[in-house]
Amino acid sequence: MDWMIVKRVLVSGWKSFVRGGAVSAATVLIMTVTLAIIGSLIFLSALLTFTLSVITDKVDVSVYFVTTASETDIFGVKGQLEKLPQVSEVSYTSADEALIAFRERHANDQLTLQALNELGGNPLDASLEIRAKDPSQYESIVKFLESSPALSAGGASIVDRINYQQNKEVIDRLALAIKAIREIGFAVVVLFAIASMLIAFATIRLAIYTAKDEIAVMRLVGASNAYVQGPFIITGVITGVAASTLVLLLLWPATWYAGTKTVDWFGGFNVAHYYADHFAFIFFILIASGIALGAVASVFAIRKYLKA
């Protein structure tokens, strides 16, 4: 196909979009709703990821050491844990720091503080708080600690206890919730993608129906399928670009308003900041989705008239 034919197809597609008037406007509006759903799924996915990340960060496994354990031995264990590929972070809390934190938590409980003072010393243990990259990996980390017990210079174990069993139910539920949300989220995305395609197909097919006589004439004079399809595909692409641009413009005030009103509800997730920080990604997804929906729906919608 030479440049002159390409130019004619492009111009014809643009003129078809402009002449469509109310039908073109309706198609743009319908596709705007479709792309708005896709945009909402992007924000929903980001919100779920953020929420799961916050919850995951609050779950850990603590290793408590005997009061006679030296910091050198404890830091040796810390170094071994940090080398594990499953471990995201290991933080150390000394016995003194644990005592200070305990006093702060029970500042209004004079009976507990009095009992603590009567002990005449620090009964709390130093500890390591371990965060895994994935909640399902905590069990393997604990097995590593149990199979390679931390020993002092004298050969005695310096680990007093590991609180994995107390947290195991919470960790297992979190791992199950993450898996379920990911699977459900993927299913929702697929469902809405199919629904969006059907809506776009039906709307563009209606627009093409108004030009069925023009298509019949083109077929009678021997126009190729590609030449007949070309203008309608261009019209579909223009419709998709117009709809995605409209969605991008509407998202600015919508996310700003939502961000100021709901940031406290979502544990610090601000949709306006997310939109600004990821604008290039959202722009690409919506523009590409609009072009794909318009072009693919146009191809399938016009096939009926090419077979006639």
pTM assigned to the model: 0.65
Q: Are 28 and 239 in contact (CB under 8 A)?
A: yes
In tens, the pLDDT along 8-57 reads 777 776 777 777 677 778 778 878 887 888 888 888 778 877 877 777 77
C-beta separation of 229 from 16 below 8 A: no
As a whole-number percent, the residues of the chain with pLDDT over 70 amount to: 81
Flag whether pLDDT at 196 surpasses 80: no
Residue 64: Cβ within 10 Å count: 19
Any idea where the domains of the chain sit in the sequence? 3-55+175-307, 67-157
pLDDT at 162 over 70: yes
The string of pLDDT tens digits covering residues 214-254 is: 777 777 776 676 677 777 788 888 888 988 999 999 998 88
Instruction: DSSP for the chain, please give it.
Output: --HHHHHHHHHHHHHHHHHTTHHHHHHHHHHHHHHHHHHHHHHHHHHHHHHHHHHHHT--EEEEE-TT--HHHHHHHHHHHHTSTTEEEEEEE-HHHHHHHHHHHTTT-HHHHHHHHHH-S--PPPEEEEEESSGGGHHHHHHHHHHS--B-TTS-B-EEEETHHHHHHHHHHHHHHHHHHHHHHHHHHHHHHHHHHHHHHHHHHHHHHTTHHHHHHHHHTT--HHHHHHHHHHHHHHHHHHHHHHHHHHHHHHHHHHHHHHTTTTTT--HHHHHHHTHHHHHHHHHHHHHHHHHHHHHHHHHHHHH-
Q: What percent of the chain has a predicted confidence (pLDDT) above 90?
A: 5
Structure confidence at residue 284 (pLDDT): 93
Cα–Cα distance between 66 and 80 in angstroms, integer?
18
User: First and final CA of the chain: distance in angstroms?
Assistant: 24
Hey, how many other C-beta atoms are within 10 angstroms of the C-beta on 129? Answer: 14
pLDDT in tens, 77-109: 888 888 888 888 888 888 888 888 878 887 777
Strand order in the sheet with 61-65: 87-93, 127-132, 61-65, 159-162
* Buried-state track 35-55, b at ≥16 Cβ within 10 A, e below 16: bbebbebbbebbbbebebeee
| CATH code reported for the domain at 67-157 | 3.30.70.3040
Write down the pLDDT at residue 246: 92
Q: Phi and psi of 215, rounded to 5°?
A: -65, -40
